[in-house]
Amino acid sequence: MLCEPLLDSYPVLHTRDADELHDWLNRTFAVRRLEFPDAGDRFDCVVNHCQLSSIALTYARYGGQMNAQLAHNDCYLQGFPLTGSGEVQWNEHVVPVRPDLGGIAGGPSSDGRFKYSGDFSNLILKITPAALAQRLSILLDRPIDPPLKLTGPPKPVNVAAYGRLVRFLADELEHHKDGLPDLVVAELEDAIIVNFLFANRHNYSHLMEGAPRAAAPWQVRRAVDYIEQHWDQSITIEELIRITETSARSLFLLFKKTHGVSPMVYLSQVRLRHARELLSRPAPGTSVTKIGFMCGFSNMGNFAMKYYGAFGEKPSETLRTHRR
């Protein structure tokens, strides 16, 4: 099964030199040992890498059977196989990897061993420990002590959707080569970090799955007021928790009970309403793409679908009608 390279706008390496690849992997992921048995003339490696605020995405196609060992890295890593197959071991946990299985994550100071087939390629997610600890503290409404520690393979029910989200971000970064709007990037990063915490097993999983503390109605009203006032800015769950003085799960529970949707879906509805207002009184040079980006939508197909579902017409039809 062939797969087009991802993140082509962020090239790092295209090499037949295994030492050059090893040097980059060592600096980026603390890969200590790298072997290409029986690679021969087929070894032709491609690496693309995009660093964001709290996470980084790396596309790698190795072009030959590869064995590697990683030790004492300073971040959380999770690979998502795109083609080929292999085996990954983080500490004592060993799992097969292939596109339909997702990938296992490893944390700081873990020992990792990897064996990949010659046709293997993957998308690698890298998250800083500070970003995960901060988000987990917000979700649980408590300090994170002891540190977050991964305890096993990911949860199959969650990892597939999580992998699609990571792939979505990689596709969006590629399609918008001049850069996504800051608020879109910030919210996608936040969504990926939260999904990492729910998709993987760790020493705080049992607390995340427990019953949340109830939030008072005034906290929901405060969240709604904040969304209405800051809809055109980056809004994260962390910010909503800060201004409502409750936990994320408590806020989600009562928000859905009050409004029938989560806070982030409510935010999307508010942005759709403002998009319609802007399209209904277009300034010179107004376009659907410009308004979509302004209102926090990175994918125009998704924007058009949500807009049609909300208002029964395409955003281009609204713009065309009011331009006349």
Predicted confidence (pLDDT) at residue 156 exceeds the cutoff of 80: no
pLDDT at 21 (0 to 100): 93
For residue 141, give the DSSP letter.
T
Which pairs with CB-CB distance under 8 Å and at least 24 residues apart come from 309-317? 310/269, 310/272, 310/273, 310/276, 311/272, 311/276, 315/275, 315/276, 315/279, 315/288, 315/291, 316/288
CB 233 within 8 A of CB 274: no
For 214: left if phi > 0, alpha if psi spans -120 to 50, otherwise beta; the answer is: beta
Q: What is the pLDDT of residues 253-282, one digit of tens each?
A: 888 888 888 898 899 999 999 999 999 999
Q: How confident is the model at residue 299 (pLDDT cuts 50, 70, 90)?
A: confident
Mean pLDDT of 183-199: 89
Domain with CATH 1.10.10.60 in the chain: 266-323
Domain with CATH 2.60.120.10 in the chain: 11-128
CATH code, residues 11-128: 2.60.120.10
pLDDT at 226 (0 to 100): 95
Predicted confidence (pLDDT) at residue 49 exceeds the cutoff of 70: yes
Predicted confidence (pLDDT) at residue 55 exceeds the cutoff of 80: yes
Calculate what percentage of the chain has a pLDDT beyond 90: 44
3-class secondary-structure state, position 49: strand
Q: What is the pLDDT of residues 27-37, one digit of tens each?
A: 999 999 999 88
d(CA 298, CA 278): 17
Compute the mean pLDDT over every residue in the chain, rounded to the nearest whole number.
87
Mean pLDDT of 160-164: 85
Cα dihedral sign, 67-85-149-129: positive
Q: How confident is the model at residue 1 (pLDDT cuts 50, 70, 90)?
A: very low
pLDDT at 23 (0 to 100): 95
Q: Does domain 266-323 have CATH number 1.10.10.60?
A: yes
Amino acid at 88: V
Q: How confident is the model at residue 40 (pLDDT cuts 50, 70, 90)?
A: low
pLDDT at 43 (0 to 100): 76
Token pair of 264, please?
A: 């982030």
* Range with the poorest average pLDDT among 68-72, 156-160, 235-239, 302-306: 156-160
pLDDT at 39 (0 to 100): 60
Cα dihedral sign, 277-283-289-293: negative
Q: What is the pLDDT of residues 90-143, one digit of tens each?
A: 888 888 888 887 778 999 988 899 999 989 999 999 999 999 998 888 887 777
Amino acid at 25: L
Helix-strand-coil split of the chain, %, nearest 5: 45, 20, 35
Predicted confidence (pLDDT) at residue 2 exceeds the cutoff of 80: no
